[in-house]
Amino acid sequence: MAIKKKVPKRAFKKGHIPWNKKNFEKNKLIYCACGCGEKRWKYNKNMEERRFINGHQSRSMKLYGEDSRCNKCGNNRKWCKELCEKCYKKIWEKKNAKRLKEKRRLSYLENKEELSKKSKEKYKKDELLRKKISIRGKKYREKHREELKEKKKIYYYENHKSFLKKNEKHRKENKNQMREWRENNRKHIRDYTKERLKNDKAFNIKKKIRNSLAKAFRKYTKTGKTTTSSKYGINHNAIIKHLKPFPADLSSYHIDHIKPLASFNFINKDGSTNLEEVKKAFAPENHQWLRALDNMSKGKKIIKQSKLNL
C-alpha cells in the first residue's frame, strides 16, 4: 500500500486571502468611498468587494428612492449620513482643517521650486488669471487699508537705512530720467503739493523748516548751497512732536526760531559748515508757534511764548 504524503497547508501572508483555491490576490487597505477619510480592507472574508465601511454606505437609493434630497442643502441627492457628497466633504474638511493644512504645507515645501515655476508660467500666459488677481488685490486693499498702512510704517521704520540706500542708488542711476520727468510734469507736481499742504499738517511743517534752512544759508553764507537736512543732524519728526498741538489755521501762524538764525555762525573761518551751530539753530527746543504779525515785527529779539491760545 502506498502511503499518502501529508500536504502541508500553505502559509498565507498577512493581507492575503484565498481566491478560488488556485489564485491569490493581495488584499489592500482602501479609503471609504463616502469621503470620511477612514480605511478598510478591499475584500471581506467571502471575497466580496466592499467600498464602504459598515454604516457609511449610502442608503438613499434603498430607503428614499431616486428623488431623495440632502437634508442640508436640499438640492443634491443623499450620499452618506443623510447628506450629499458636497455637504459631507465640507463638514469633514472643517473637522480635519489642521491636518489638511499641515499636509498642504509639507507638500508645498517639498515641491516649492516646481510649483513656483508653474504658477509664474501660468500667470504669464493666462490673461484672465491676471485680471482676477488684480481685482482680488484691489478689494483686499480697500477692506484692509488702515491695517496695511500700519504694517508699512512699521516695516519702513525697521528697515529705514536700507530704503535710503536704495533710493540713493536709484537717484544716481536715473538722474537724467528723473529730471526729464519733473520738467514734463511740473503742473502735476504743483497740484499735488498744494493739496498735500492743505490736508497734511506734518508735511506742511517739514516743508517750512526746509525752506527756512535754505533761506538761512542763502542769507548768511557766500555760496548759499545746502545738502540734505539729515547730514546736518536735523530731525523733522522731533520738531513736529515739540510743536504739537498744531494751530487750527496754519496760515495765520509762523514757525519761529526763539533764538534768531542771524545770531548763529553757520560757516567756519576755513569756509566749511559749522555743524554744531546748525544743530543748535534747528533743534526742537528752538522752535515755537508765533502769530505772523508778531514774527514779522520781532526782528532779532528773543520772545519766548510757552502757551498759545490756538
Q: For residue range 148-184, what is the model confidence (pLDDT) as tens digits?
A: 999 998 999 899 889 989 998 998 899 899 999 999 9
> Mean pLDDT in the chain?
78
Higher pLDDT, 66 or 173: 173
Least confident of 1-15, 32-46, 277-291: 1-15
Q: Is the pLDDT of residue 61 over 80?
A: no
- Model confidence over 31-42: pLDDT tens digits? 777 666 778 777
Q: Could you tell me if 285 and 255 are in contact, meaning their C-beta atoms sit under 8 angstroms apart?
A: no
- In the chain, the largest separation of any two C-alpha atoms, in whole Å, equals 144
Higher pLDDT, 30 or 122: 122
Q: Are strands 16-19 and 29-31 parallel, antiparallel or unpaired?
A: unpaired
pLDDT at 71: 73
The three-state secondary structure class of 158 is helix
Task: For residue 204, give the H/E element and its range.
Answer: helix 201-220
pLDDT at 234: 80
pLDDT at 276: 84
Q: Is the pLDDT of residue 20 over 70?
A: no
Given pLDDT bands bounded at 50, 70 and 90, which one contains residue 198? confident
Helix 201-220 and helix 236-243: axis angle, to 10°? 120
Q: Is the pLDDT of residue 4 over 60?
A: no
Q: Is the pLDDT of residue 17 over 60?
A: no
Q: Where would I find the beta strands (DSSP E) of 151-264?
A: 253-257
pLDDT at 123: 92
pLDDT at 13: 45
Question: In the predicted model, what is the mean pLDDT of residues 124-129?
Answer: 91
Nearest to 215 by CA among 226, 229, 204, 231: 226
- Model confidence over 251-286: pLDDT tens digits? 788 888 888 888 888 777 777 778 788 888 888 888
